């Protein structure tokens, strides 16, 4: 059975061989799971992932880039699949010692994971972020390109009942409990997209907007002027994946963020956010026909399949479905 599966996956990869890249716009969990599936059915060296960096922050020990790290760890088969961040079987001796010393380290960072931040912070004193990530990608033996959305600082800020927080403060320190009033992207209008990011979009055979959180993971990427311009031109090559099933987010506090933006937590609202950039969207089979009609009215073609990815087979199935939908 395993041999048959391997033969099937190799055939799939060969079907889509070409000179152009397949580009994925990704943030955390949903995008990371999809990337795991894509690398099984598409030549990894032809994958280019443009990663959200609006959750990045300097910590005492180095530069923390959670979405980039999750993508790198997924591609190097190291990611902790219980948390969808950090490294599996990592140790936490440094974290535990810091807590004992009275240091308020609310982010639980593993020892091996911490090494990435330390090196990144040191290298950023003399290199751009895109150059640092390229160096780390190669060191981990990853064939796919992993490209930060920008070398410039962009930070997602969440205005809440507890004041203005960054995403990690909101999610981890305050456990996503405060009322969300507004979300904005500090620095977005001054920031420029990484040159490599716009370059791979121009050359892309297909573009996938992963089922990461649209508000905190995808919109920071799309709102960079250079990326927005290129995506608009490539709309007919772009497909989005819904992160919502029947009004409920597959993971994370997406509903809370959508309501803060005066949007209903629905696939239709997500489709509206992406309508200028994606000509196709994949939604879950649980969605009704009225939803399909509303999305089609936005001039977006609708494809239905299960979008929940709990195990490897489901990730591969969705990835294969997306490749077929891109060709349709």
pLDDT in tens, 117-131: 999 999 999 999 999
Choose among 287, 251, 260, 252: nearest CA to 271.
287
Among 66, 34, 87, residue whose Cα is nearest residue 323? 34
Q: Give me the pLDDT at residue 264, please.
A: 86
Kindly report the CATH number assigned to the domain that includes residue 160.
3.40.50.10680
The yes-or-no verdict on residue 203 having pLDDT over 90 is yes
Q: What pTM was estimated for this model as a whole?
A: 0.93
Burial 35-51 (b: 16+ CB within 10 A, else e): bbbbbbbbbeebbbbbb
Residue 264's domain comprises 2-327
* C-alpha span between 175 and 160 (Å, rounded): 13
227 token code pair: 């990326």
**8 Å CB contact between 8 and 319:** no
Residue whose pair of structure tokens reads 């905190």 in the numeric block: 216
Q: Can you tell me the distance from the alpha carbon of 226 to that of 164, in angstroms, rounded to the nearest whole number?
A: 28
SS3 state of residue 108: coil
DSSP string, 246-288: TTEESSSSHHHHHHHTT--SSHHHHHHHHTTT-SEEEEETTS-
pLDDT digits (tens, 9 = 90+) for 128-165: 999 999 999 999 999 999 999 999 999 999 999 999 99
Domain count, the chain: 1
| Residue 16 reports pLDDT greater than 80 | no
Q: Distance (Å, rounded) from C-alpha 176 to C-alpha 106?
A: 14
Beta strands 238-241 and 206-209, pairing class: parallel
Percent of the chain at pLDDT exceeding 90: 86
Sheet of 22-26: strand order equals 145-148, 47-51, 22-26, 206-209, 238-241, 280-284, 301-305
d(CA 255, CA 258) in angstroms, rounded, equals: 5
Q: How far apart, in whole angstroms, are the C-alpha atoms of residue 82 and residue 80?
A: 5
Describe the crossing of helices 225-233 and 195-203 by its angle, rounded to 10 degrees: 0
105 token code pair: 């380290």
Q: Please compute the mean of the pLDDT values over residues 100-117 and round it to a whole number.
A: 96
Q: What pLDDT, on a 0 to 100 scale, did the predictor assign at position 201?
A: 97
Check: CB of residue 80 under 8 Å from CB of residue 74.
Answer: no
């Amino acid at each position: 059975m395993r041999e048959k599966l391997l033969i099937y996956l190799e055939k799939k990869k060969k079907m889509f061989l070409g000179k152009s890249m397949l580009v994925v716009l990704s943030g955390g969990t949903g995008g990371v799971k999809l990337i795991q599936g894509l690398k099984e059915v598409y030549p990894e060296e032809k994958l280019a992932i443009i990663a959200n960096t609006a959750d990045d922050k300097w910590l005492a020990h180095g530069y923390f880039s959670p979405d980039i790290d999750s993508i790198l760890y997924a591609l190097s088969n190291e990611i902790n699949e219980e948390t969808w961040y950090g490294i599996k079987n990592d140790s936490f001796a440094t974290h535990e010692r810091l807590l004992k010393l009275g240091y308020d380290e609310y982010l639980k960072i593993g020892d091996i994971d911490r090494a990435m931040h330390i090196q990144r912070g040191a290298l950023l004193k003399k290199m751009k972020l895109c150059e640092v990530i390229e160096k780390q990608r190669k060191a981990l033996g990853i064939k796919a390109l992993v490209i930060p959305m920008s070398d410039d600082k962009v930070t997602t800020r969440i205005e809440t009942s507890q004041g203005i927080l960054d995403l990690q403060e909101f999610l981890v320190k305050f456990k996503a409990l405060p009322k969300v009033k507004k979300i904005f992207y500090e620095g977005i209008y001054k920031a420029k997209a990484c040159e490599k990011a716009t370059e791979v979009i121009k050359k892309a055979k297909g573009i996938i907007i992963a089922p990461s959180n649209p508000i905190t993971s995808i919109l920071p990427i799309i709102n960079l002027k250079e990326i927005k311009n290129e995506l608009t031109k490539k709309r007919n090559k772009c497909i989005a994946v819904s992160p919502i099933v029947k009004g409920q987010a597959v993971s994370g506090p997406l509903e809370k963020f959508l309501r803060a933006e005066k949007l209903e937590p629905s696939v239709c609202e997500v489709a509206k956010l992406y309508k200028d950039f994606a000509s196709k969207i994949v939604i879950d089979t649980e969605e009704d026909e009225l939803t399909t009609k509303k999305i089609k009215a936005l001039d977006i073609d609708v494809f239905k399949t299960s979008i929940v990815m709990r195990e490897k087979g489901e990730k591969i199935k969705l990835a294969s479905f997306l490749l077929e939908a891109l060709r349709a």
